[in-house]
Amino acid sequence: MQIVPAFDLMDGRLVRLRQGDFGQKTEYPADPLELAREMEAAGIKRLHIVDLDGARDGRPVHLPLLAKIAGHTRLTIDYGGGLRSMAALRQVWDAGAALFSVGSVAVKAPDEFRAWVERFGPEKFLVGADVRGKQLAVHGWTEQTGLDLFEFLSRVNALGVTQFSVTDIARDGELTGPSMDLYKEVRLRFPEIELTASGGISKTADFEALREIGCASVIVGKAFFEGLIPMKFFSVYTKSLT
């Protein structure tokens, strides 16, 4: 199981939003490139970049920073935020992303998303499912769709997509622990998918609990930036897997 740090970017800075609210923002002083290099040195292989400005503006904004991180590290980067057209996907790909992190389009425009998958291949997508209860929310969690999580996973998986991240919105940024029952049910009903758990990570023991139920990776954001998951843990954990 891989640990995947999350870089939420706004105005070129690392930030965290509480419950996706742009009005509840915490900034962190670290330089994104230097931090990415430190994480790589600690054994991290993957990086999850969320372009918050892009999500708000409807187009990728942090392409220069993406290119800089991709060009100065060997991290496998998945990038999301503002991916609303084939042209945007191409821009992100050309800047160095290895995976497209998408959510709203897969939910709201399934025909368009199918065209994306046919063009780039299902292995290039990490599809995000953000849920309240078991119903999906989109557009920065502002719109509740009424679409059932498992219906959505089945529909997208049928396109050949196997990589999914599932976020329990109520736990994101709250440091209350991951939604274990939800992830257990996803693993039980869809054992063939590569499940990324996201939201609620608060302590190092959470990683082992998620590994035991078969998660392929875990996204960690606030717990790291608030010092609850130290950098040295990444080195210890990644070495334990080799």
Report all structural domains of the chain as residue ranges with CATH numbers, in order of start.
2-240 (3.20.20.70)
Identify the pLDDT of residue 49: 98
For residue 57, indicate whether it is catalytic: no
> Dihedrals φ, ψ of 239, to 5°?
-70, -30
Cα–Cα distance for residue pair 84/192, rounded to 1 Å: 28
Question: 111-169 pLDDT, tens per residue?
Answer: 999 999 999 999 999 999 999 989 998 877 778 898 999 999 999 999 999 999 999 98
For residue 130, indicate whether it is catalytic: yes
Selection from 158, 137, 106 nearest residue 19 by Cα: 137
Identify the pLDDT of residue 139: 78
* Active-site residue identified among 78, 130, 168, 206: 130
Identify the pLDDT of residue 65: 98
Identify the pLDDT of residue 21: 67
Q: Give the DSSP H or E segment for 14.
A: strand 13-18
Q: Cα 155 from chain centroid?
A: 20
Q: Which residue numbers in the chain have pLDDT < 50?
A: none
Question: Which neighbouring-strand residues pair with 101?
Answer: 126
Centre a 10 Å sphere on the Cβ of residue 24 and count the other Cβ atoms it contains. 11
* Active-site residue identified among 8, 51, 78, 172: 8
Which DSSP category does 208 fall into? H
Grouping H, G, I as helix, E, B as strand and the rest as coil, residue 65 is: helix
Q: Cα 164 from chain centroid?
A: 9
The pairing of strands 125-132 and 135-138 is antiparallel
Question: What pTM value is reported for the model?
Answer: 0.94
- Residues shown for the chain: 242
**AA identity, residue 38:** E
Identify the pLDDT of residue 155: 97
Identify the pLDDT of residue 156: 98
